[in-house]
Amino acid sequence: MSAIALSIKMGPDINFPKGYDSTKTKAILKVVQNEQYHFVDGVYSHWPPDWGTRLSFEGDVTKLNQFMAELHQIPGTTMRLILYRGRNDNLRQDSSWQLDYSQAHPDRLTLYLNVNSTNIDLYKIVFPEWTGSDKVSPPKEISEVLGRDDRCIRPEEGTEKNK
């Protein structure tokens, strides 16, 4: 284990708050420790009030869809999805996706999706419908999430169609 300032590198684990629901703990760890998801790196930060854990994963869109679907099945948790333009240069290589856990918001999982990842075809992502309840809803295609498909910006074109 190595330390970086007030952060510690770690394996596919999460530093949950003391007394956190053991059922949720086991369910979340079952997903992040599943070897079908290629774990790259992890960091735990000793910065209050967040006390955050960030886990990085590599994989294709099929694995990402499975990862999101499994997390969606965990009762009593919510999820945020943040799209970001990751780097892939001599200074830093960002993974396909990262899972962020904050002790300040213990029932919320944040998934950072690297839109610059060459492993992820954005148009094949299936987003579970996050209803805030335990009810399972049918997944949505990206065209439903983004709105009309003919108004989407396509990465290969770099311009908006049918403006």
Q: According to the model, what pLDDT value does residue 82 have?
A: 93
pTM: 0.74
Predicted local distance difference test score (pLDDT) of residue 2: 54
What average pLDDT score do residues 151-162 get? 44
User: Two tokens at 117?
Assistant: 């990842």
**pLDDT tens, residue by residue, 4-63:** 568 899 999 999 999 999 999 999 999 999 999 999 999 999 888 889 999 999 999 999
Higher pLDDT, 151 or 105: 105
- β-pairing, 7-9 vs 3-4, is antiparallel
- Tell which wins on pLDDT, 72 or 128: 72
Question: Would you state the pLDDT for residue 109?
Answer: 96
The pLDDT assigned to 128 comes to 81
| Helix 61-72 / helix 22-32 crossing angle, nearest 10 deg | 170
pLDDT at 46: 86
Q: Which residues pair with 61 in a beta bridge?
A: none
Average pLDDT of the segment spanning 59-74: 95
Name the helix (H) or strand (E) containing 62.
Answer: helix 61-72
Mean of the per-residue pLDDT values of the chain: 82
- Could you give the C-alpha distances from 50 to 44, 54, 120, in angstroms and in order? 10, 11, 29
| Distance separating alpha carbons of residues 63 and 38, to the nearest angstrom | 9
> What does the pLDDT average to over 93-117?
94
Q: Distance from CA of residue 132 to its chain's centroid?
A: 17
- What is the model's pLDDT at position 92? 74
**pLDDT attached to residue 136:** 45
